[in-house]
């Protein structure tokens, strides 16, 4: 058991993390949540108590912190005696929080790659620009840092590792497919922070093929995928964190990421992008005000957490992994299906936040139990996937697979 | 001849007004141009001299003025000894400049209705909310104020008056159709100030039918018009200034305004509007900055004046007027066709600015000559259209008509 766990961030994913930590506070100890706006933390804690989510008697405290102030985060870690920090704040704060963990010795978990506000789409592999530069320091100090432990990146990295370990001698390709077949009923909305959401799709799309980085652009490469539960869905090659670590760990495999988009999303995105409204570079209004257009678009769009109450339908996220076993072609699709409404009923969040927020808590539990207490920096595919799947099964995100690939035999991962 | 003429504003229309004033400075006297940003005025004067546009030797001076400061505008009128003020600044400054003219006795001309920044689409008739409240004061002081003397409103009001005077005993309908069949080659741009442009289309669409105001919404009522030169073009009922004065002056006629839009424009407009990016109400970004979304969209879009060099194609703007003559149905389409490239070659502006900027100078000339020196406030349809058409013919905007309506006999207005 851990003495104390600190959550950084108070958005839709943090809401899920808070509920799941509460449901496992027998393992995660005293709970703390901190963000720039303390009232958001208070609201999350209130919703935890409303659902009676605390498994055993224990504390859950809110704090105000500027997560880009490493000293302040380190002070908070010391003050709260946190042994594990789950960072689900904005992607702009990762390195500051990681530094605070390295300074204090707390274990670090995040769910997305570090980004600098003024840069979109850095050179691949993305992790090498920031996180991996601290790998040796983590090892030297014996600090556990699990990078990208959300769903994608995160669980999909474990799916790839599992598929390769269990079904292949050699891997030739990993295609990660992320489909949200749900409906929020709004004209347009993003499922998580619009700023981060759009930034994913405005830069070069990098993918790994034939042992090298290749480039395409958003919506240029589409494919119809026939998936369990959600049926046939069109997805487009997109840039995504996990491509960058999987390509480093499995350089012999082609690694691609596919995100599902409807025509309406693409139209809105295209209009906003072409006009320049998705730009992170400030423009000056006629009145002399300097503004980043993307931040204004974000302010106009619905708050992703507001979508939850009316969200219906399901997500399907999985990895189609191909390779050879005993000289024969081998193929498997490892996947999870989640339901928006069930997520809302359990933790007050929609399915996208749910799939992103449950896995880092599973990772925290594995660190607390020792299974994943790596004492160095790791991406998820570098950790044993089986205890992770076991926790996820228990926590509401069961792992299934189609043996033989899409259209193959459907079964639980441990059947 | 006038002693001195003052232009307020330094945008795309002001550029045309400046060139046309210069080409007629034998009548309009010493020329002055003033705006918030003096350097824009300097650039316009430089372009006038570059084209050698001054008809006779004379002065053209630039000034800095805040046009929403009535006292400052009045001081400038006195300092420049201006007898005529052509206001082609933002629609937000009209009433301040008009007040300065009433105070000093200078004649006032504008090309669009007054707007308050925080209000979109006031109750009809629009002129009654601001301008017409000063009508009695203008009459009392003998101040000439010609409202809405651009193309639409402006020339199209004169088209209606002419059609009714010459072809009808009774008028039953006036349909004003504005088609820009030109191409600027950009992904998306507005032909004049995006802020004013979008504001036109985000409110209720008012039209006058059966002797009363009726309402529809933008893009709800479309019609294909088969027009001279530009061919068949789809246009949608829109709110527009001239509907509000023509309905007052010809209450027996149905009065509607139709603006041409391509599917691409409508799509972009719809996306921006539905997301809330065309709103004039401030939003607050996550960082706490208060911003009016529409002003950010404006900052992202191309400056309308930047479109001119590559603009090709033609505009067709006209009035289809129906009624009876000697108990028989009568119908005529009065129109002008303008060419973007020719406009650019002559005055360095695209055709939309050209059609908006030439008419107020024609009006100024008519005031200087005495034909239109009304000594009170008038909308254009209240003035004799024939000297106006004669000036416009000479200045590059010839008036033509189809006797019998669309598909009828094509001839010049004075053939």
Structural element, H or E, at residue B379 = strand B377-379
Domains parsed from chain B with CATH numbers: 4-151+353-395 (3.40.50.720), 155-347+398-412 (3.30.360.10)
Least reliable range by pLDDT among A364-368, B246-250, B278-282, B402-406: B278-282
For B115-183, strand residue ranges (E) read 145-147, 170-180
Question: Whole-angstrom Cα distance, residue B159 to residue B399?
Answer: 8
What tens digit of pLDDT does each residue of A204-243 get?
A: 899 999 999 999 998 999 999 999 999 999 999 999 999 9
C-beta atoms of A287 and B295 within 8 A: yes
- Indicate whether B309 pLDDT > 80: yes
- CB contact (8 A) between residue A299 and residue B279: no
Predicted pLDDT of residue B120: 67
Contact B296 A279 (CB under 8 A): no
Between A181-195, A222-236, B235-249, the lowest mean confidence (pLDDT) is in: A181-195
Has residue B336 got a pLDDT over 90?
Answer: yes
List of residues 6+ apart from B2 with CB closer than 8 A:
B27, B28, B29, B83, B84, B364, B367, B368
> Which H, E and C letters describe B383-409, residue by residue?
CCHHHHHHHHHHHCCCCEEEECCCCCE
The pLDDT value given to residue A121 = 61
- pLDDT(B121) > 70: no
Whether A250 shows a pLDDT value over 70: the answer reads yes
User: Is the sign of the CA dihedral B80, B82, B86, B89 positive or negative?
Assistant: positive
For residue range A45-88, list pLDDT tens digits in order. 999 999 999 999 999 999 999 999 999 999 999 999 999 999 99
- A361 has pLDDT over 80: yes
Query: For residues A35 and A67, is the Cβ–Cβ distance under 8 A?
Result: yes
For B192-222, the pLDDT digits (tens) are 788 878 877 777 899 999 999 999 998 999 9
The pLDDT value given to residue B392: 98
**Site from A9, A267, A285 to mutate, B interface, most B CB atoms within 10 angstroms:** A285
Q: Which residues in chain B are contacts of A275 at CB distance < 8 A?
A: 187-188, 268, 272, 297, 300-301
Residue A276 sits at the chain B interface (C-beta within 8 Å): yes
Instruction: Decide: helix, strand or coil at residue B55.
Output: coil
- Closest Cβ–Cβ partner in B274, B275, B300 for A293: B300
Residue-wise pLDDT for A146-159, tens only, equals 999 999 999 999 99
Angle between helices A351-369 and A12-23 (to 10 degrees): 40
Compute the average pLDDT of residues B307-331: 96
What pLDDT digit, counting tens, does each position of A83-102 carry? 999 999 988 999 999 999 99
**How many Cβ atoms from other residues are within 10 Å of residue B299's Cβ?**
22
Q: What does the mean pLDDT of chain A come to?
A: 95
Q: Contact B59/B74 with Cβ under 8 angstroms? A: no
Would the pLDDT of A310 be above 70? yes
Residue A371 has pLDDT above 90, yes or no: yes
pLDDT at residue A192 greater than cutoff 90? no
Model pLDDT for residues B123-147, shown as the tens digit of each residue: 899 999 999 999 999 999 999 999 9
Q: Which residue of B has its CA nearest to A271?
A: B268
């Amino acid at each position: 058991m851990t003495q104390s766990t600190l959550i950084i961030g108070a958005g839709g994913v943090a809401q899920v993390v808070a509920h799941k930590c509460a449901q496992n506070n027998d393992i995660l100890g005293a709970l703390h949540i901190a963000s720039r706006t303390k009232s958001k933390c208070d609201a999350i804690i209130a919703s935890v108590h409303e659902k009676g989510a605390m498994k055993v008697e224990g504390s859950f405290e809110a704090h105000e912190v500027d997560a880009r102030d490493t000293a302040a985060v380190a002070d908070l870690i010391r003050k709260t005696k946190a042994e594990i920090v789950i960072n689900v704040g904005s992607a702009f704060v990762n390195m500051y929080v990681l530094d605070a963990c390295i300074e204090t010795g707390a274990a670090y978990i995040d769910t997305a790659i570090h980004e600098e506000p003024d840069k979109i789409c850095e050179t691949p592999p993305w992790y090498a620009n920031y996180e991996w530069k601290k790998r040796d320091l983590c090892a030297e100090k014996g600090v556990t840092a699990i990078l990208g432990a959300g769903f994608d990146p995160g669980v999909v990295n474990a799916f790839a590792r599992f598929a390769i370990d269990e079904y292949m001698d050699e891997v030739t390709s990993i295609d990660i497919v992320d489909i949200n077949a749900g409906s929020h009923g709004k004209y347009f909305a993003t499922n998580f922070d619009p700023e981060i959401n759009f930034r994913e799709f405005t830069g070069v799309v990098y993918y790994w093929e034939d042992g090298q980085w290749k480039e395409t652009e958003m919506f240029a490469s589409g494919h119809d995928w026939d998936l369990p539960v959600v049926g046939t869905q069109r997805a487009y090659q997109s840039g995504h964190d996990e491509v960058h670590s999987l390509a480093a760990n499995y350089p012999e495999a082609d690694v691609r990421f596919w995100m599902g988009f409807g025509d309406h999303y693409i139209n809105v995105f295209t209009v906003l992008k072409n006009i320049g409204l998705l730009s992170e570079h400030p423009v000056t209004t006629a009145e002399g005000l300097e503004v980043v257009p993307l931040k204004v678009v974000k302010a106009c769009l619905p708050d992703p957490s507001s979508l939850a109450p009316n969200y219906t339908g399901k997500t399907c996220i999985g990895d189609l992994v191909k390779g050879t076993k005993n000289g024969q072609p081998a193929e498997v699709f490892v996947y999870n299906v989640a339901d928006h409404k069930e997520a809302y009923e359990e933790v007050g969040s929609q399915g996208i936040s749910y799939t992103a927020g449950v896995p880092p808590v599973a990772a925290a539990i594995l660190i607390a139990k020792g299974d994943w207490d790596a004492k160095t920096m790791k991406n998820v595919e570098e950790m044993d996937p089986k205890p992770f799947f076991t926790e996820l099964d228990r926590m509401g995100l069961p792992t299934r697979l189609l043996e033989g690939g899409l259209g193959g035999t459907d079964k639980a991962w441990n059947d």
